[in-house]
Amino acid sequence: MADKKMVEEITSMDVDFAQWYTDIVKKAELIDYTSVKGCMVIKPAGYAIWELIQKQLDERFKETGVQNVYLPMFIPESLLQKEKDHVEGFAPEVAWVTHGGLEPLAERMCVRPTSETLFCDFYKNDIHSYRDLPKVYNQWCSVVRWEKETRPFLRSREFLWQEGHTAHATEEDAQNRTIQMLNLYADFCEQVLAIPVIKGQKTDKEKFAGAVATYTIEALMHDGKALQSGTSHNFGDGFAKAFGIQFADKDNTLKYVHQTSWGMTTRLIGAIIMTHGDNEGLVLPPRVAPIQVCVIPIQQKKEGVLDKAFEIADSLKGICRVKVDDTDKTPGFKFAEAEMRGYPIRIEIGPRDIEEGKCVLVRRDTREKLECAIADIAKKVPELLETIQSEMLERARKHRDAHTYVAHNMEEMEKIFSETTGFVKAMWCGDRACEDQIKEKLAVTSRCAPFEQENLGDTCVCCGKPAKKMIYWGKAY
Question: Which domains, and CATH codes, for the chain?
Answer: 29-276 (3.30.930.10), 293-384 (3.40.50.800), 404-474 (3.30.110.30)
**What's the CA gap between 189 and 433, in Å, rounded?**
33
pTM score: 0.96
Pairing between strand 404-406 and 369-373?
A: unpaired
Question: pLDDT tens digits for the chain (477 residues)?
Answer: 344 455 458 999 999 999 999 999 999 999 999 999 999 999 999 999 999 999 999 999 999 999 999 999 999 999 988 877 777 878 889 999 999 999 999 999 999 999 999 999 999 999 999 999 999 999 999 999 999 889 999 999 999 999 999 999 999 999 999 999 999 999 999 999 999 999 999 999 999 988 999 999 999 999 999 999 999 999 999 999 999 999 999 999 999 999 999 999 999 999 999 999 999 999 999 999 999 999 999 999 999 999 999 999 999 999 999 999 999 999 999 999 999 999 999 999 999 999 999 999 999 999 999 999 999 999 999 999 999 999 999 999 999 999 999 999 999 999 999 999 999 999 999 999 999 999 999 999 999 999 999 999 999 999 999 999 999 999 999
**What's the CA gap between 369 and 358, in Å, rounded?**
13
**Ramachandran region of residue 313, left (φ > 0), alpha (ψ -120 to 50) or beta?**
alpha
Residue type, 350: G
Find the radius of gyration of the CA atoms of the chain.
25
Taken in order 408, 414, 419, 424, is the CA torsion positive or negative? positive
